[in-house]
C-alpha cells in the first residue's frame, strides 16, 4: 500500500507541472491571437478558424520548431511567428516558383512568395526569427531529416490531391519530423470520399487519414473545433462560394454569409518514435 501511495504521489507531482506548462502555453497563444498588431481583417476570421483552440489541440509549444506548409497570406504566420520567436522557431515552407514549368502555376507561386517576403520584411520585430524554406512539390523536402517538432497544414490537401502530389507531401512531412513529432491537418471536409479529379475543394476525412497513415503516421486524435454543420458541401462551384472567397452571385450573399466558412476536419497525427 505504501508503495502504491508513493507511486500515486509521484504521478501527481509530475502531472501538475505538465498541466501548468500547458496552461502557460495556452495563455501565450491567447496573447498572440489578441495582439493588436495583427491584421484586423485576419482577426475577424478567428470565429471560424479558432486559432487558440486549434493550436492548443495540436500541442504547439513556444519552444517548438514549427513548419507551416504553404502559409498563403500569412494568416497563421502572424500568430505563430511571435509565439515561437522567443524560444522556438517558425518556418514557412513555400513553393519554389522556379521548380514549376511555365504555365504550371509559376506566376501564382511567385506572387505568393513576394507577399510572404513583404510580410516578413514589413515587421522585423514580429518576424525576425522566422525562416522561409522553398520546396519543389514534385519532390518535397522541408528541411533536415528529423528537425521539426510540428508540421502544420491548413486547407491545402485538396490542392495537392488534385495535382497528384499529396502522397509525396505526406512523405516529406514524415521525413522532416522528429520521432514523436506532430502533423496537424485542417481541411475542408467532404460528406464522403471524393474522386481524385474532384474540384470542389473538399476531401473525405477517411481519405486524408489514409494518406497520412500510408506515409507512416498514426492518427492520434480528431477534433470538431472547426466543424460547421451549416455547410451542406453541395455548392455548385465548391467551397469557394463560401466566405472568405465568396465566389457567388451578389443576390446570394446573405445565404452564404449565413452559412459561414466551410466545415473542416481537424486531425492530429504522430510520427511514431523509433523502436
Residue whose entry in the numeric block shows the C-alpha cell 514549376: 100
pLDDT for the residue numbered 196: 87
d(CA 48, CA 205): 19
Sign of CA dihedral 108, 231, 256, 73: negative
Quote the CA–CA distance of 113 and 126 in Å, as a whole number. 18
Q: Does domain 2-270 have CATH number 3.40.50.10320?
A: no
| pLDDT (average), residues 130-150 | 96
Q: What is the mean pLDDT of residues 66-87?
A: 94
Domain boundaries, the chain: 2-270
Strand extents, DSSP E, the chain: 65-69, 89-95, 131-135, 148-154, 177-188, 218-223, 264-270
E strands, 62-130, in order: 65-69, 89-95
CA torsion 169→170→172→175, rounded to 10°? 180
Question: In this predicted structure, what is the pLDDT of residue 20?
Answer: 56
pLDDT for res 104: 67
Amino acid at each position: 500500500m505504501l508503495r502504491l501511495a508513493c507511486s500515486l504521489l509521484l504521478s501527481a507531482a509530475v502531472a501538475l507541472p505538465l498541466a501548468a506548462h500547458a496552461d502557460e502555453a495556452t495563455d501565450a497563444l491567447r496573447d498572440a491571437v489578441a495582439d493588436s498588431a495583427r491584421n484586423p481583417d485576419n482577426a475577424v476570421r478567428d470565429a471560424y478558424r479558432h486559432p487558440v483552440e486549434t493550436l492548443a489541440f495540436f500541442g504547439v509549444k513556444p519552444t517548438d520548431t514549427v513548419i507551416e506548409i504553404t502559409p498563403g497570406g500569412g494568416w497563421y504566420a502572424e500568430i505563430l511567428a511571435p509565439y515561437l520567436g522567443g524560444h522556438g522557431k517558425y518556418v514557412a515552407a513555400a513553393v519554389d516558383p522556379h521548380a514549376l514549368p511555365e504555365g504550371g502555376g509559376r506566376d501564382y507561386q511567385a506572387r505568393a512568395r513576394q507577399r510572404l517576403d513583404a510580410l516578413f520584411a514589413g515587421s522585423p520585430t514580429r518576424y525576425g526569427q522566422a525562416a522561409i524554406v522553398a520546396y519543389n512539390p514534385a519532390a518535397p523536402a522541408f528541411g533536415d531529416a528529423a528537425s521539426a517538432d510540428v508540421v502544420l497544414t491548413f486547407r491545402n490537401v485538396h490542392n495537392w490531391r488534385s495535382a497528384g502530389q499529396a502522397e509525396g507531401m505526406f512523405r516529406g512531412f514524415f521525413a522532416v519530423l522528429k520521432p514523436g513529432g506532430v502533423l496537424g491537418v485542417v481541411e475542408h471536409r467532404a460528406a464522403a470520399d471524393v474522386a481524385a479529379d474532384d474540384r470542389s475543394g473538399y476531401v473525405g476525412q477517411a481519405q486524408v487519414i489514409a494518406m497520412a497513415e500510408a506515409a507512416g503516421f498514426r492518427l492520434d486524435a480528431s477534433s470538431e473545433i472547426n466543424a460547421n454543420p451549416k455547410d451542406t458541401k453541395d455548392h455548385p462551384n465548391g467551397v469557394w462560394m463560401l466566405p472568405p472567397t465568396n465566389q457567388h452571385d451578389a443576390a446570394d450573399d446573405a445565404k452564404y454569409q449565413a452559412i459561414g466558412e466551410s466545415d473542416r476536419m481537424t486531425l492530429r497525427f504522430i510520427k511514431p518514435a523509433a523502436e
